[in-house]
Amino acid sequence: MSAKLFQFLDLPRQPPRTVPVAVRVLGYGEIGGDFASPQASAQAERCIDCGNPYCEHACPVHNYIPNWLKLVQQGRILEAATLMHETNPLPEICGRVCPQDRLCEGACTLEQTAFGSVTIGSIERWVTDEALRQGWRPDLSHVRETGHRVAVIGAGPAGLACADQLRRAGVAADVYDGQREIGGLLTFGIPPFKLDKGVVRTRREVLEGMGVRFLLGKEVGRDVEFGALLDEYDAVFVGTGAYTYVDGQLPGRELQGVHDALPFLIANTERLMRDEPATVFDFRDKHVVVLGGGDTGMDCNRTAIRLGAASVTCVYRRDEASMPGSAREVNYSREEGVTFLFHRQPIAILDNGHGEVRGVRVVETRLVDTGDGRPKPQNIPGSESDLVADVVIQSFGFLPSPPHWLAAHGVALSPSGKVVTGANGMLPQQTSHPRIFAGGDNVRGADLVVRAVYDGREAGASIASALTRKSEKAVSVER
Ligand SMILES: Cc1cc2nc3c(=O)[nH]c(=O)nc-3n(C[C@H](O)[C@H](O)[C@H](O)COP(=O)(O)OP(=O)(O)OC[C@H]3O[C@@H](n4cnc5c(N)ncnc54)[C@H](O)[C@@H]3O)c2cc1C
Ligand code: SF4
């Protein structure tokens, strides 16, 4: 039972203070502030130990939330960090980027009252940061090396979680990635004001300390043959993400000043990593229109603000309640000066006569219930209008991008290109090829960090158990 059962009556929900708007828009530093130790413990004491931890159920990795909140209340930070890592190999990252309002905190029993949920994500972040600062590292001293070796393709959250799980089971994990740094979208997609890149670098040190080997700048299919990996390793995990653009097919999308969301965000992150000024993306005095209302759209909005845009307008074809991303990110965008235009469908990007953007033509929409779940936006004829724009950023989402070598090795894909896993009695995350496992965005389509982490963790556990069974001659993973 909680040390102070009725703490929630006396102490309101109080997340760490964010950096003031006037300061945060001047740079790319993380805007989420940090707890001081007594605040974290006091906020943890707001947990009422309700006995039905819906928060755990709603957390995709099923963190033992009430249990680690108790350890935080007792000041047992290192033990809390150890418990967090039993279910989540990247807790400091999920604590920062999970849309908690839709997951753990949205399901907290206190959230159903006027008192507001426990600040679960911020506590998770604070505990891990603090434990790592104090020198905490995963203890693998009890782990017996099995001699098995696995190739992990992709150093995004799915691949990292898989590698972590494999090392905990005494399996060697070699992680291949085409990029020069680990993290996948954690490093190159999510902007630094949401996730400082130093956090990912620290996690790399932790994983290397666990014996994970990173082979970076090695794209499978270009620098390394997939077949060679299958020959060399006992099993392969594929966590290559989802990078095919949803193309809105808008007339005028070839005009100068039109950008696709991810190349824009990646180029800006790489520029910041090289400490270079914004030249291509100098948005000073420019009117920017962002098309799309997901998390990536919010990142584009807020990056455009930091690039000095005179105005940023975000156009979304449904209403605010239907936005697919985190409400927190929408609020941050608004606080930082973004204007939202709901119920608008872009129909064309307009030319100024010199091959450059001058605006976006939109039409108003109404939501129509078609009886198959989510209401669909329908254009209202005659309601067209033009928005002024010097820059347009298209952010319509991503589809799977299965590498050609997967199908060539007999891995079944869905009609939309997702890797099929766990079908017909297969192990969790096992594909139709018994020695190939997959997870993250390439299995689910574009989704969340924490779900990629879940898949990677489950895949690591499946691979380890399949290899153990194989060693015991109950062959389930055949060479
Ligand atoms: C701009 C943006 C913002 C986002 N914000 C959030 C957020 O706030 N919260 C949240 O939960 N989620 C967010 N997401 C979603 C989240 O980042 C993804 O769901 C998650 O990163 C998927 O993890 P993954 O490991 O499957 O793939 P990825 O992170 O895409 O990693 C895949 C890795 O595989 C590598 N790779 C691909 N092909 C090969 C190959 N042939 N050989 C070697 N390496 C290869 C890539 O280089 C990459 O490093 C965001 C996504 C974007 C685009
Ligand atoms: S991993 Fe994400 S959903 Fe789960 S407890 Fe942490 S912040 Fe909440």
449 lines ligand 1 (CB under 6 A): yes
Tell me the best of 240, 260, 323 to mutate to test the pocket of ligand 1, counting ligand atoms within 8 Å of each CB and taking the most: 240
Q: Is pLDDT at 422 greater than 70 in this prediction? A: yes
Q: Note the ligand closest to the C-alpha atom of 395.
A: 1
Q: Which residues contact 393 (CB under 8 A, 6 or more apart)?
A: 258, 259, 260, 261, 264, 288, 289, 290, 291, 300, 304
pLDDT in tens, 11-45: 889 999 899 999 999 999 999 888 888 899 999 99
Note whether 391 and 256 are same-domain residues.
yes
Same domain, 413 and 442: yes
Give yes or no: residues 315 and 378 share one domain: yes
**HEC assignment per residue over 337-397:** CCEEECCEEEEEEEECCCCEEEEEEEEEEEEECCCCCCCEEEECCCCCEEEECCEEEECCC
Summarize pLDDT for 127-147 with one digit per residue, the tens. 999 999 999 999 999 999 999
Nearest CA residue ID for atom 3, ligand 2: 59
Residues 279 and 383 occupy one common structural domain: yes
Q: Of the ligands numbered here, which is closest to the C-alpha atom of 56?
A: 2
Is any ligand 1 atom within 6 A of the Cβ of residue 154? yes
Residue 473 reports pLDDT greater than 70: no
Ligand 1 touching residue 454 (CB < 6 A): no
8 A C-beta contact, residue 121 and residue 98 = yes
Question: 313 with 388: CB under 8 angstroms?
Answer: no
Asked if pLDDT for residue 164 goes beyond 70, the answer is yes
Q: Measured in angstroms, how far is the CA atom of residue 398 from the centroid of ligand 1? A: 11
- Residue 85 domain-assigned (yes or no): yes
Residue 478 is assigned to a structural domain of this protein: no
CATH number at residue 95: 1.10.1060.10
141 within some domain: no
Range of the domain at 221: 149-243+399-471
Decide if 210 is inside a domain.
yes
Which CATH number is 415's domain given?
3.50.50.60
Tell me the residue type at 269.
T
Last residue of a domain, one of 396, 430, 462: 396
- The answer to whether position 139 is within a domain reads no
Do 370 and 421 share a domain, yes or no?
no
Q: Which two tokens stand for residue 31?
A: 């805007």
At 287, give phi and psi (nearest 5°).
-95, 120
Q: Do both 330 and 353 map to the same domain?
A: yes
Q: Is the CB of 447 under 6 A from ligand 1?
A: yes
Distance from Cα 355 to the centre of ligand 1, integer Å? 33
Q: Determine the distance separating the centroid of ligand 1 and the alpha carbon of 178, expressed in angstroms.
A: 13
State in Å: Cα 48 to ligand 2 middle: 18
Q: Is residue 64 part of a domain?
A: yes
Residue where a domain stops, chosen among 133, 165, 193:
133
Average pLDDT of the segment spanning 183-202: 96
Query: Within a domain: residue 1?
Result: no
How many angstroms separate the CA atoms of 347 and 469, rounded? 56
The number of the ligand 1 atom at minimal distance from the alpha carbon of 403 is 41
The residue out of 357, 376, 396 marking a domain boundary is 396
Shared domain for 83 and 107, answered yes or no, is yes
Whether ligand 1 lies within 6 angstroms of the CB of 434 is answered as no
Residue 392 lies in a domain: yes
Q: Which atom of ligand 1 is nearest to the CA of 185?
A: 29
Whether residue 271 is found in the same domain as residue 331: yes
Closest approach atom of ligand 1 to CA 329: 8
Kindly state whether residues 437 and 327 are assigned to the same domain. Answer: no
Check pLDDT > 90 for residue 4.
no
Q: Are residues 316 and 350 in the same domain?
A: yes
Question: The sheet that has 149-153: what strands, in order across it?
Answer: 213-216, 172-177, 149-153, 235-238, 436-438
Q: Band of the pLDDT at 2, cuts 50, 70, 90?
A: very low
Is the domain of 370 the same as that of 434? no
Q: How many domains does the chain have?
A: 3
Whether 418 and 300 map to the same domain: the answer is: no
As a whole number, mean pLDDT of residues 397-421 equals 95
Q: Could you tell me the distance, in angstroms and rounded to a whole number, from the CA of residue 185 to the centre of ligand 2? A: 18
Longest dimension (CA), the chain: 72
Ligand 1, atom 15, residue with closest C-alpha: 448
